[in-house]
Each structure stands twice: as structure tokens, then as C-alpha cells.
Structure 1
Amino acid sequence: MSASLPPPAAQQAFCEVSAIDSGTIHMLLGQLVDTAAPDEMTNLPCLAFVLRHSRTRETFLFDLGIRPDPENLRGAGATTAKMRMVLTGRDIPAALERGGLSRTEVKHIAISHIHFDHTGVPTAFPNATFLLGAGSKPVIEAKGPDFEGTIYAIDVPLERTKFLDSSTPDWSPIGPFPRALDFYGDGSLYIVDAPGHVPGHINILARTSTDGGWVYLAADSAHDWRLLTGEAGIGHHPEWGCIHEDPGKAQQNIERLKALAEYPRVRVLLAHDKPFVNANAKDGRGYWPDKIESL
């Protein structure tokens, strides 16, 4: 097994974690897994997450899903239509406020990567600082704001955005991952460099208890649990290719994720986690304002 995760300290801080339904995509399954039949379609749920620090009660969001008006996506809207995707978005600020959390209270929002189904409407959060992987910055500068011919879509207020460089000395190994940032400095939440999918792709590793529980929010490190169980490999669609920009690095990262899933008391959740949604969405278990149970 890879190096163990750091043990809890005395009076260890942790994060309460809740899922948010952040939309759906009807799309070709062959872009995701290599076991799909020709032209097989799938309904892919999209999840975002609310994390609240156990001591400060500070609110941290991970991803913003599909914007509630996907018809107003610019370049990505045209590209997804060509790829036969049908998009359903969600009003994430409204969902938070129905559960008692004002959009003005959100302090940090980490965007796993700049594909349209993770970026929502950043400008709806007037007081948040946005956190993106540094690899996304040159893409935004070169291809934004319209991102024609891509499935990128993001409109962050740059004056409130930090681009995180995982090559700096404050990033260090944790568990099977070579580079992670102890965001609060108390071991409660780590931002993890997760290369392979797109430039700047990041994940979250957070403690969920004082005594050794964890959750790993894997975003698009894997789009389907069969990639982690070995029942399928990364898909390469004959027309649209692979959803990962660097499939080799993506597979290396999947191998790290497989290793992490074997650790005791670590819950792994994907951005498009059908098993979690199928088990919990109907009665709202684990969805904001409810909390995902710690292992």
C-alpha cells in the first residue's frame, strides 16, 4: 500500500460534507468507458459539494455544476450539441439558500476544472474567492471568453481568483498522491493535484471526523466506477475521441485513486457518481442541507 494518510491530531478539525445535485448530461457512453456499445447513451448525473469547517464554520464549495440556463453556453453549447449531449442545469445558489446558506456566506469555491459541467455561474457568489489549478490559466487566456470549439466554459471574476501552482514547496505528498496543499493548515482539507483529464484538474481530500474518517472528491479523475473496479477501461469514441486530454496521465491518476479506495475509512465520490445518486437522491440522504455520513 502507498504511504498512509496523516493521523488525526488532538482536537482535530474536520469538514462536514454535503452533495448538491448540479445537473445531468445525456451523452455517448463510449466517450467515458471502453465497454460501451456503439452509440450507447447514458444519463450522467453531476454533483457539486458543500464543505463546512468544523471549527470556523467557514463554507467551501467544490464545483458549481451546469449553469441553470445551458442554452446560454457559448462555444461549449455548440460543441456539446454536435456531440449529441443534452444538458440540464441547476441553480446552485438557490439550492443552497433553500437549505439555509446564503450565497454571500460562501468564502471559497474550488473549481475542479473548466469543463462546462463544473463551472456553473461563478458571478452569482459575490464574496467568494475562486481556486483553480494553475494549468487552467493559459487555457483561459488563450481560448476565453467564448472557448469556441471546446467544452470549456468559465467566467470567474479574475480579481477574486487564485491559480494554484502545485510545483511550489507548500505542496507535498499525501497518501498515494505526489502533490497536495493543506489548505487551512490544520489537516482538515487538502487540495490535490490530479493530472490527466484537463490542465489544472484538482481534487479534494477532506477529513470527515476527529478520529480518522476521510472523503475524497475525485471530480473527473474517473467518470464511472467501472474504471476503478477494473470492469472497464478509459473510453476512446471513434468520432469524439477520449474525454481525457492526456489518457496516459489520467490512467496513472486512476491507479492512485484505486489505491486510495483501499484505505480504511476513506469514501471516494466521483463528480458523476451514479451509485451514490441512485442510493441517496430519492430521499435526499447526504444532499445539502443533510450531510454525507463519515466512515
Structure 2
Amino acid sequence: MSLPPPAKDQAYCDVSALDAGNINMLLGQLVDVAVGDEMTDLPVLSFLLRHSRTGDILLFDLGIRPDVENYSAGALELTRKMGMTLQGRDIPAALERGGVSRADVKRVVLSHIHFDHTGYPRAFPNATFILANGALKIIEEKGPVYDNSFYAVDVPLERTVFVNPELEVPASPAMKEEWAPLGPFPRALDLYGDGSLYLVDAPGHIPGHLNALARTSADGGWVYLGADSAHDWRLLTGEAGIGCHHVWGCVHEDRGKAEETIERMKVLAGTPRVRVLLGHDKPFVKEGKGYWPDRIESL
């Protein structure tokens, strides 16, 4: 398995993590090694990417909004029933403490539209939002209340592009899309057209789930942002399988496809100079390095 080699004067992205909240939830929904109704604290991460050539700033996910009471009624009711507790973060304030204004953010990619990844999009007045077509279908059919689900999203549709890994008619035809194989993944989109950042079709969790693969140096380093393709590193090491809680079931809507995506992530994780990070990455958080305004060290 190989990834695209660097070109001459290769563009790349500096990548920084952002503390985007915390969830206390049932571990048995995530991994099959949980005992009974064991609970777990999950950190929530967002990521800031700065393009080396243009200086463009992109955010990958927005975490949990600070005013959690303003999430969709469906998400709030389901979290209450399941005994979840949530802590949100003010992402724009965190950016500004590091010297970046919310107005400087050019693009926001939402990996999917679960509440702990969508934050408060309208806080970014100049950003174009990028989601996948699967998210558009959910928004049109189930929004804005999203009964009995974790869905919650409030993007300004006039500034939102819905990309289309399935290669049907694009929902946003103004955006040129050429999805092609990348490493172990069947479909990826070269977002800037220069090999610095790819959006990766990562099915299984919910419709429209995206990951990202960012080149982190001009000579061959990478970071893979796995969002909710895996909630726990034990799914990648083989120490656990996907969980299915006896009452609430599994967090993945298509377990078979989720397992396929995890297998592809395992291949990528074994590739030299590739760092894999999860949206709820406990080992990364424990290490405590690479948070904005610092950057994640390139391998």
C-alpha cells in the first residue's frame, strides 16, 4: 500500500488539535469488552489545518457547542434517556486565544452531523461548509428536530457544499469533484487539487461520514483524521470489536461497512510516516501535545 509521493515544492498542512468537549456515555455502544452498563469519558477533538502555500485555515469538525441546551430536541431527549452528560467548548474563543479570528476560517469540514461534531457553525461568518450528500439527505428528511437521534446541525445552507463520493449528480455542481482511490480507500477527493489534503469517504458510522488525510510535510508525512470511524483505539489494535449495547445497540448505522472502514484504517496505521487520530482519541489527549496554537509534529 502506498500514498501519493510528494511533488516538487509540495504543499502540505500544519495540523493542530482543539479541545472540543467531553461526553460521558455507555462504553458498550462502542466496544464489545465493556462490562454491563459501564460508562466512559470520551474526549472530543476538532482540528485546525493551515495550508502551507495559501495560509488558508480549515477546521475539521466543531465538537460540542458550549450552549448544549440549544441542540436539536431529538438529540437532547436521546442523550437524557441514555444518561449521557455533555461538556461543550467555545471553539472561536480558543482560536482567538491562539491568534486566529473566527473570520479567518475559510472552510469547515463536518465529518458527519452527530451533535458532538457539528458545534455552532454560524459562529464562522466567512467559512464555506463542506458535508457529504448523505448528510443532506438526513437534513432534508429528518430536520430540524431529528427525533430520537444524535443528529444536530445548523449550517448556513447558502454557504454549504455537499460533496458526493457516490459519483451521482453532485448536490453542489459548482464544486469540481473527482473522487479516486487513495491508499486503502476506494474514494477520496483532493480538496485543494495539490495533494495536500484529501477528503475520504468513510462509510459505516452514519450516511455521509467523511474522514480526512492531510499531508503534514513537503517530504512525505501524513495525518489521518478518522472522526467516528473508530471511537476507541482497541478497535484498531484488535483488542476489541465494535460494541452493541443490550438496550441501545451500536453507534454505527451499518456495522458491516464500519468494520470495512476500520480494516482500511488498520492498513493505513501500519504505513510509515502516517499518524492516525480519532475524533475521541484518548491516547492523543493523554499525551497532551499538538494543541493549538502548537501543531502536531509531522512523522
TM range (shorter): over 0.9
**Partners in 2 of 1:146 and 1:254 — Cα distance?**
31
**Partners in 1 of 2:261 and 2:83 — Cα distance?**
28
The equivalent of 1:45 in structure 2 is 43
The equivalent of 1:21 in structure 2 is 19
How far off is 1:138 after superposition?
1.0
The equivalent of 1:253 in structure 2 is 261
Q: TM-score if structure 1 supplies the norm length?
A: 0.97
Instruction: From 264, 279, 291, give the equivalent of 2:295.
Output: 291
Q: Secondary structure at the match of 2:125?
A: coil
The answer for unaligned runs of 5 or more in structure 2 is 168-176
Percent identity, aligned pairs only, is 69
The equivalent of 1:275 in structure 2 is 283
1:151-197 deviations in Å (ceiling 9; x for gaps): 10000000100110013360000000000000000000000000000
CA RMSD in angstroms, aligned pairs only: 0.7
How far off is 1:114 after superposition?
0.3
Q: Secondary structure at the match of 2:213?
A: strand
The equivalent of 2:131 in structure 1 is 132
How far off is 1:148 after superposition?
1.7
1:245-276 deviations in Å (ceiling 9; x for gaps): 00000000000000000000000000000000
The answer for unaligned runs of 5 or more in structure 1 is none
Q: Please state if 1:171 is matched with 2:179.
A: yes
Q: Please state if 1:94 is matched with 2:93.
A: yes
1:8-53 deviations in Å (ceiling 9; x for gaps): 0011000000000000000010000000000111000000000000
Q: Which runs of 4+ in 1 moved over 2 A?
A: none
1:123-145 deviations in Å (ceiling 9; x for gaps): 00011000001111110011111
The equivalent of 1:77 in structure 2 is 76
The equivalent of 2:174 in structure 1 is none
Instruction: Give the count of matched residue pairs.
Output: 289
**Partners in 2 of 1:146 and 1:205 — Cα distance?**
32
**Partners in 2 of 1:131 and 1:22 — Cα distance?**
19
Q: Secondary structure at the match of 2:287?
A: helix
Q: Which one-letter code corresponds to 1:167 in the other structure?
A: E
How far off is 1:69 after superposition?
1.1
Q: How does 1:146-225 map to 2 (within 5 A)?
A: 146-168=145-167, 170-225=178-233
1:97-138 deviations in Å (ceiling 9; x for gaps): 111100001000000000000000000001100000111111
Q: Which one-letter code corresponds to 2:281 in the other structure?
A: D
Q: TM-score if structure 2 supplies the norm length?
A: 0.96
How far off is 1:75 after superposition?
1.6
**Partners in 1 of 2:137 and 2:198 — Cα distance?**
24
